[in-house]
Chain A
Amino acid sequence: MAAKDLEIDTSTLVKKPKKTLQHTHDNLLRKIAIPTIYCPGCGIGTTINAFLEAITKYTIVPHDNILVVSGIGCSGRASGYVNLDGFHALHGRAIPFASGVEIARPKMKPVIISGDGDLFSIGLGHLAHAARRNIDMTVICVNNAIYGLTGGQDAPTTPVGAKSRTTPYGKISFPFNLSHVAIANGATFCARYTVYEFIQLAKAIGRGMTHQGFSFIEVISNCHVNFGRRNNLGDSIAMRKMFKKVRVPMKEEDIGLDIRKTDIKYEVGKGFTRIPTGIFLNERDKPEEFSERIIDAYEFNK
């Protein structure tokens, strides 16, 4: 794309403000790429903002050590919007690429920002194995229950009965509980929040990044354009109000061993009826993360 195409068209602003508008995290945004491609009201903007809030306030990881790796889809554009080292990966392959970085340069903290389709459909195998190895990375998964960018196809999170362009008669198969999958495969930190719960989400991302090992943050987000519209769930605000209404705060001790307690419920016609949120797992006494173990192993062999 030519540099001219990337210039901000200020003429589109309704009123030209006297002072330039400042974003809370202005220094962390790559302004040349703004405005983003996101539809007005999209939850990915909220997620990126929560991530920036987290790295500013809620984690000890220095910015120079953060690498943002994103996958394919709307959320995949995230790495291009932030002023940090970044890589926009192949579809589904953000995690193995980030694993390579983390193993080669253990001081780096890869943060993967991607979607439910990228991470849990085509990329599920990689997610499972990175969790199993307990690689020191933070995966932020924007779960909007649909393939948004490509026009609204079925995702592994699309609820039973919901309509998408490839399930025009309603989804037949069952969705994943993403947090359940991450924990079952060995994630040592796991949290879920909706985009309605901004501060909790930012704090969870921060804690996840500070955590040594594989941390997983599931963000329940609204794709009102390609999921909400097709399933009569209303606009961005209506969907967020729904999240507010149906979220059920939960703690690690509420869940215990029965991670199924975190299942999301959905009813055709009503939308989401139950979304448990909270920090589901924080295993502080898990053995070291993968890079540490490699280093130990090599030293042991010497």
Chain B
Amino acid sequence: MSSFSLEKKEDISIVLCGAAGQGIKTVEQFLTHALFQDGYNVATTKEYMSRVRGGTNSTEIRISSNRVSAFVDRIDIFIPLNKTAIARQRKRITSDTIIIGEPENISNEIDLAKHKVIEVSWSKIAEEIGNKIYSNVIAAGLIAELFNLDKEIGRKYLRDRFASKGEEIIENNFKAFNKGCEIADEIIKEKGLKIAIKKDPKNSKMSMYDGASVVGMGAIAGGCNFICSYPMSPSTGVLIFLAKHSDEFEILVEQAEDEIAAINAGLGAAYAGARALVSTSGGGFALMGEGISLSGMIETPIVIHVAQRPGPATGLPTRTEQGDLELVLYSGHGDFPRIILAPGSLEDAFSVTQKAFNMAEKYQTPVIILTDQFFMDLYYNFSPPDISQFTIENTVVKTTKDYQRYKLTKDGISPRGIPGFGEGLVRADSDEHDEDGFITEDLDGVRIKMVEKRFNKLAEITKNVIPPDLLGSKDYKTLVIGWGSTYTAIKEAIETIGRDDIGFLYFKQVYPLHPDTRKWLKKAEKLIIVENNVTSQFGKLIHLFADIKIKNKILKFNGMPFSVEELIEKIKKIVEA
């Protein structure tokens, strides 16, 4: 049996695994927030089943000396909370994995002689404290002590977390926490389980929120004051976040009866001057198709957040995929310009969402933000954005008596009036219309002019595309291309490979493409595209709009995000071929 010490590791991955309702979330939130406040770099990801109770879910918490933010397959410390936990994660458990948990959750599943096992009967200890329910806090205390967490931070977190439950419950949680610490001290002494991850007090000054909250914050920073949505995993977090903060930021929140109502109410609000957001997932977006088209026709700004999950149909409701790019690119009948954004880091989730509202307002067209389940549930410490660099650009004009909503202009953008503000009338029509917004059948005069007007806006949009970030080598021979949530894993994989001839081009606006896309891609000898879908939808988009066919594709579509390890292996194989 080799040593239990993790002293040499700069990055430790802890995986908690158990049934929904068992309290994984309590342990996850305790460790993530307390260790973060203590100055550690923390990154948390999760995967879960579509059910309220039971099943087998898992959370991965990475604590590292240098900041990381991706999902890894490797498990350094595994905490099985039920009997199916080990079976579910077996592929990821190696002889190096330290398994800490109840004997009955471990002994039947693995060969104790071949694994590093530390048996702790926390439910028994918890019962001594008063209730089995405290076993999670014992586990949390144990892990916290391994990382030498400042006990005051731990206690403060527990006090805040259980404040509403009364003194006795808080005291019992303290007892459980202390008990966990005592067990950890014994483990450190007896097994030599040492951890030497570096802390930095600066880390605790950073932000620690999940993707759903950051998209919500970006929306608030973008001036969002109206959200009408229908719950659909995994997008609902944004609706919940904005509902929770609706009082503070004066946001109108109404849960619609379905997605068709949501998008139409959003468009109605935007027509009246609100900065509207609609949050949904692929299936809901499919229902919105007609509304997206309406937005294109009546040139009313709308931001639609689409958190992707694997389809077709109901698919895998709580899993991740990047399979809806083509849906959002082609959704809606008829031709009209649109913008598609896809942030991959939490920093970008804030800035891109903020910008989305200004873009929608400026170009009077639908703007779609693509995220996914992995990204919604991802959280890590990041530098809070400098709020002063963001402005809310409002294009609404006070109308005059002769106001025309669809006035023909050089760039196709008509001054945007709203009803009740100024002397003019604001008329809109889902039929083809003239400059006044009245229905028309004037084919050779008005129709052609209006189609051209709407498409002139696309040329304007193309002038102001958010450029992709080039990471890794500026002098690349191989260029890896990614978009959206694959960013964190690709970035870490390229850094770990450490070659000076690999670049990584990360797109946060996927449509329209940046005009220099072809130039950047042409420079590479080898192109690799990484996507969480089966047909390389972004590869097809690049082929269509930049006329470059990417041969090397790394695709994953089992409902899980890319791990750093598999990307390292696959990218290396292609580079070295």
Give A residues with C-beta under 8 Å from B: 9, 11-12, 35, 37-40, 72, 74, 88, 90-92, 121-122, 124, 147-151, 153-154, 156, 165-169, 173, 225-226
**What distance in Å separates the Cβ of A228 from its nearest Cβ neighbour in chain B?**
12
**What distance in Å separates the Cβ of B401 from its nearest Cβ neighbour in chain A?**
38
Interface bits B270-314 vs A (CB < 8 Å: 1, else 0)? 000000000000010000000000000000000000000000011
**What distance in Å separates the Cβ of A119 from its nearest Cβ neighbour in chain B?**
11
With A39-B53, A226-B52 as known contacts, state yes or no: A90 contacts B240, CB within 8 Å. Answer: no
Contacts of A35 in B (CB 8 A): 54
Partner of B52, one of A74, A122, A154: A74
Taking CB as reference atom, which chain B residue is nearest A172? B254
- B257 contacts chain A at the CB level, 8 A cutoff: yes
Partner of A150, one of B236, B246, B314: B236
With A150-B231, A168-B243 as known contacts, state yes or no: A37 contacts B255, CB within 8 Å. Answer: no
CB–CB A37/B230 < 8 A: no
**What distance in Å separates the Cβ of A104 from its nearest Cβ neighbour in chain B?**
21
- B50 contacts chain A at the CB level, 8 A cutoff: yes
Contacts of A154 in B (CB 8 A): 255
With A11-B108, A148-B52, A150-B231 as known contacts, state yes or no: A121 contacts B257, CB within 8 Å. Answer: yes
**What distance in Å separates the Cβ of B314 from its nearest Cβ neighbour in chain A?**
6
What would 15 more interface pairs be, CB under 8 Å, given A11-B108, A122-B230, A169-B246? A9-B83, A35-B54, A39-B21, A72-B314, A91-B314, A121-B258, A122-B258, A124-B257, A165-B240, A165-B243, A166-B239, A166-B243, A166-B253, A225-B53, A226-B52
Bound form: Cα–Cα A156–B108 in Å = 47
**Interface CB pairs A-B, < 8 A, 30:** A9-B83, A9-B84, A11-B108, A37-B49, A37-B50, A37-B52, A37-B53, A40-B53, A72-B314, A90-B283, A91-B314, A121-B230, A121-B258, A124-B257, A149-B51, A150-B232, A150-B233, A151-B52, A151-B236, A153-B231, A153-B240, A165-B236, A165-B243, A166-B231, A166-B255, A167-B243, A168-B243, A169-B246, A169-B247, A225-B53
Taking CB as reference atom, which chain B residue is nearest A37? B51
- B572 contacts chain A at the CB level, 8 A cutoff: no
With A122-B257, A154-B255 as known contacts, state yes or no: A37 contacts B54, CB within 8 Å. Answer: yes
CB–CB A149/B243 < 8 A: no
Bound form: Cα–Cα A124–B54 in Å = 31
**What distance in Å separates the Cβ of B81 from its nearest Cβ neighbour in chain A?**
13
Bound form: Cα–Cα A151–B52 in Å = 7
**What distance in Å separates the Cβ of B28 from its nearest Cβ neighbour in chain A?**
16
Contacts of B254 in A (CB 8 A): 173
Contacts of A92 in B (CB 8 A): 258
- B549 contacts chain A at the CB level, 8 A cutoff: no
Contacts of A225 in B (CB 8 A): 21, 52-53
Partner of B314, one of A38, A90, A151, A226: A90
**What distance in Å separates the Cβ of A211 from its nearest Cβ neighbour in chain B?**
28
Taking CB as reference atom, which chain A residue is nearest B54? A37
Interface bits B28-63 vs A (CB < 8 Å: 1, else 0)? 000000000000000000000111111100000000
- B244 contacts chain A at the CB level, 8 A cutoff: yes
Give B residues with C-beta under 8 Å from A: 21, 49-55, 83-84, 108, 230-233, 236, 239-240, 243-244, 246-247, 253-255, 257-259, 283, 313-314
Contacts of B49 in A (CB 8 A): 37
Contacts of B230 in A (CB 8 A): 121-122
Partner of B255, one of A40, A151, A153: A153
From B50, B231, B254, name the one whose CB has the most chain A CB atoms within 10 angstroms: B231
CB–CB A147/B231 < 8 A: yes
With A12-B83, A165-B240 as known contacts, state yes or no: A149 contacts B52, CB within 8 Å. Answer: yes
Contacts of B246 in A (CB 8 A): 169
CB–CB B55/A37 < 8 A: yes
Taking CB as reference atom, which chain B residue is nearest A125? B258
Bound form: Cα–Cα A91–B257 in Å = 12
Contacts of A9 in B (CB 8 A): 83-84
From A35, A37, A225, A226, name the one whose CB has the most chain B CB atoms within 10 angstroms: A37
**What distance in Å separates the Cβ of B229 from its nearest Cβ neighbour in chain A?**
8
**What distance in Å separates the Cβ of B80 from its nearest Cβ neighbour in chain A?**
14
Contacts of B233 in A (CB 8 A): 150
Bound form: Cα–Cα A173–B257 in Å = 12
CB–CB B83/A11 < 8 A: yes
Bound form: Cα–Cα A9–B87 in Å = 12
Bound form: Cα–Cα A266–B53 in Å = 27
**What distance in Å separates the Cβ of B17 from its nearest Cβ neighbour in chain A?**
14
Contacts of A166 in B (CB 8 A): 231, 236, 239-240, 243, 253, 255
Bound form: Cα–Cα A151–B53 in Å = 11
Closest CB pairs A-B (n = 7): A122-B258, A37-B51, A39-B53, A153-B231, A121-B257, A154-B255, A166-B243
CB–CB B52/A39 < 8 A: yes
Bound form: Cα–Cα A168–B283 in Å = 26
Bound form: Cα–Cα A91–B236 in Å = 15
**What distance in Å separates the Cβ of B279 from its nearest Cβ neighbour in chain A?**
11
With A165-B240, A167-B243 as known contacts, state yes or no: A90 contacts B313, CB within 8 Å. Answer: yes
Bound form: Cα–Cα A138–B243 in Å = 36
Contacts of B253 in A (CB 8 A): 166
With A91-B283, A166-B240, A168-B243 as known contacts, state yes or no: A149 contacts B108, CB within 8 Å. Answer: no
Bound form: Cα–Cα A167–B231 in Å = 12
Bound form: Cα–Cα A238–B231 in Å = 28
Contacts of A169 in B (CB 8 A): 246-247
Contacts of A153 in B (CB 8 A): 231, 236, 239-240, 255
Contacts of B255 in A (CB 8 A): 153-154, 166-167
**What distance in Å separates the Cβ of B364 from its nearest Cβ neighbour in chain A?**
29
Bound form: Cα–Cα A148–B51 in Å = 9
**What distance in Å separates the Cβ of B79 from its nearest Cβ neighbour in chain A?**
19
From B21, B108, B314, name the one whose CB has the most chain A CB atoms within 10 angstroms: B314
Partner of A168, one of B21, B55, B108, B244: B244
Contacts of B52 in A (CB 8 A): 37, 39, 74, 148-149, 151, 225-226
Taking CB as reference atom, which chain B residue is nearest A124? B257
Contacts of A167 in B (CB 8 A): 243, 255
Bound form: Cα–Cα A154–B229 in Å = 11
Taking CB as reference atom, which chain B residue is nearest A76? B314
Bound form: Cα–Cα A154–B239 in Å = 11
**What distance in Å separates the Cβ of A139 from its nearest Cβ neighbour in chain B?**
18
Bound form: Cα–Cα A124–B243 in Å = 24
Bound form: Cα–Cα A72–B247 in Å = 31
Contacts of A150 in B (CB 8 A): 231-233, 236
Contacts of A40 in B (CB 8 A): 53
